[in-house]
Amino acid sequence: MNNLVILGSIGLDDIETPFGTAKGALGGSGIYAACAASFFAKPDLISIVGKDMPKEHIGLLKQRGIDLTGVSICEKTFRWSGFYEYDMNEAKTKKTELNSLLEFKAEVPEVYRSPEFLFLANIDPEHQLSVLRKMKTKPFVIVDTMNFWIASKKDKLLEVIKKADLVVINEGEARQLFGTPNLIKAGKILLDLGPEYAVIKKGEHGALLFSSENYFSAPGYPLEEVKDPTGAGDSFAGALAGYLAKTKDTSERNVRKAVVYGSAVASCCAEAFSLDYLKDTKYKNIKERYGVFKKIRKF
Ligand code: AMP
């Protein structure tokens, strides 16, 4: 059906949080995004992975119905190491080893070139632009990024944002990108660049959705134990993209629902390291959390 194509990184992560550590854990924006989207759709993944990636990780992706035709193979997988202090909303990067991402050509298989929805997850904006250029038809384009690319390739990133229909970015990165402490201003600047919607993620405190007419604020899921928020942002955006691809409805009302589904899936991601909790989460659990959101939003 090819109605959702995702571009993102595949990585091996070393993570430290106040609640434990993980070494060589499955990670990367493309992995979290595709797994989260797979609750709603069958995503096609464009990425690159090294031969050093344990086989069982690849098995997990296949089990979830993720198409890997667009994943090329090289020697060494991208690696990221980071840590969190008690403020689990901010990841601090210790080291980024681009490895595979340096030789990535962002090749797009012929069957991936006319999706209805394209999610350009956090990766080098030059790869995001390259994939966009290869599309034969105009998909609904969702874009995410992170501080690393804002610092190193801001101009290219702004080019990508101008071509997006919906931009997802976290609060710290929105402030960094536009040099303002005010998220309402940052949301408006994002919309002025062209996208129909802008979503600013606020970690455990939820997300803000901006459109030209309206403003919507979704709370975070009331989790008492956050073990590792790595990938929660990618999972949020992946689930949002998956829900839109499933429903094929980009009205504001439906984008609001997609934001809430995004928050529900992201909360499952944060319950354990890597994909340890998310991989065993059932669609029914996501629906239950969606129900909790409905309840806590009533006043
Ligand atoms: P987040 O959802 O923001 O917590 O994303 C965490 C994931 O982003 C980790 O699994 C990393 O492997 C991945 N990552 C970290 N830095 C980069 C980067 N510069 N480009 C692409 N992916 C990255």
> Is the distance from CB of 98 to CB of 148 less than 8 angstroms?
no
- pLDDT score recorded for residue 281: 94
- CA-nearest residue, atom 20 of ligand 1: 123
Count of C-beta atoms within a 10 Å radius of residue 201 = 27
Q: State in Å: Cα 213 to ligand 1 middle.
A: 32
pLDDT of residue 91: 87
The residue whose CA has the least distance to atom 6 of ligand 1 is 231
**Dist. CA 99 → ligand 1 center (Å):** 14
pLDDT at position 133: 97
pLDDT at 193: 97
**79 CA distance to ligand 1 middle (Å):** 9
| pLDDT mean by block of 10 residues, the chain; 299 residues | 89 94 96 97 97 91 94 96 88 94 95 97 97 97 96 97 98 95 96 98 93 92 90 97 98 97 95 92 96 88
DSSP helix/strand/coil, 82:
strand
Q: Which atom of ligand 1 is nearest to the CA of 148?
A: 19
Sign of the dihedral through C-alpha 207, 46, 49, 281: positive
Contact (Cβ atoms closer than 8 angstroms) between residue 8 and residue 121: yes
Give the closest residue (by CA) to ligand 1 atom 5.
231
Check residue 299 and give its pLDDT: 77
Q: Where are the beta strands (DSSP E) in the chain?
A: 4-7, 11-17, 20-27, 44-50, 67-74, 78-83, 92-97, 117-120, 140-144, 166-170, 197-201, 207-210, 215-218
Tell me the CA–centroid distance for residue 155 and ligand 1, in Å.
20
DSSP 149-193: HHHH-HHHHHHHHHT-SEEEEEHHHHHHHHT-S-HHHHHHHHHHT
pLDDT score at 2: 62
Atom from ligand 1 closest to the CA of residue 149: 19
Q: Ligand 1: which of 48, 80, 96, 278 to mutate, judged by most atoms within 8 Å of the beta carbon?
A: 80
Say what the pTM is. Answer: 0.96
Instruction: Name, in order, each residue with C-beta under 8 angstroms of 160's C-beta and a sequence gap of 6 or more.
Output: 120, 125, 128, 129, 132, 143, 145
Ligand 1 site residues, Cβ closer than 6 angstroms: 9, 11, 13, 27-29, 32, 80, 91, 96, 122-123, 146, 148, 230-234
Number of helical H runs and strand E runs in the chain: 11, 13
Q: How many whole angstroms separate alpha carbon 122 and alpha carbon 29? A: 6
Q: How far apart are alpha carbons 225 and 122 in whole angstroms?
A: 26
